[in-house]
Amino acid sequence: MVDKNCPQWDIADPSQALRFSTFLIAIRTRLLRDLKAEFKKIHGGLVEGLKKATEEGGVGSKASRRFRWKLTQQREEEPLKSMLKALKKRTEAEKREASKKDLPPLHVEGATKD
């Protein structure tokens, strides 16, 4: 469902939090049984991870990285930075190719943000 054209939400912003909740309702409606089964598989690890993060010093600790849910926090993480750089390179290459062929370039919103 989120494989292509993956949306981004900053849940600290009320309007984006509302959009995210709407997305979650859609997932709940369509995939509830499958999600329950997957969550049961990882639930213990999440609880233990949260306890460990709390014991090691809270939000700033290494163990708490998986609980950083704000978009601004996620943008500081290397995997997202690498992905956005690769997306920016690909978008620029597509623009160059499109200009050679006199075609409008494909536009990917957010690809130029670091």
Taking the C-alpha atoms of residue 52 and residue 81, their distance in angstroms, rounded to an integer, is: 26
Angle at CA 114, nearest 5°, toward 57 and 58?
5
Based on the domain organization, do 64 and 36 belong to the same domain? Answer: yes
Number of domains in the chain: 2
Q: Residue 62 has which token pair?
A: 């290494």
Domain that holds residue 82: 77-114
Model confidence over 76-106: pLDDT tens digits? Answer: 778 888 888 998 999 888 888 877 776 665 6
Residue 2 lies in a domain: no
In the chain, the percentage of residues whose pLDDT exceeds 70 is 71
Based on the domain organization, do 11 and 38 belong to the same domain? Answer: yes
Based on the domain organization, do 44 and 96 belong to the same domain? Answer: no
pTM beyond cutoff 0.75: no
Average pLDDT over residues 51-74: 67
**Which is higher by pLDDT, 64 or 47?**
47
What local confidence, expressed as pLDDT, does residue 12 receive?
A: 87
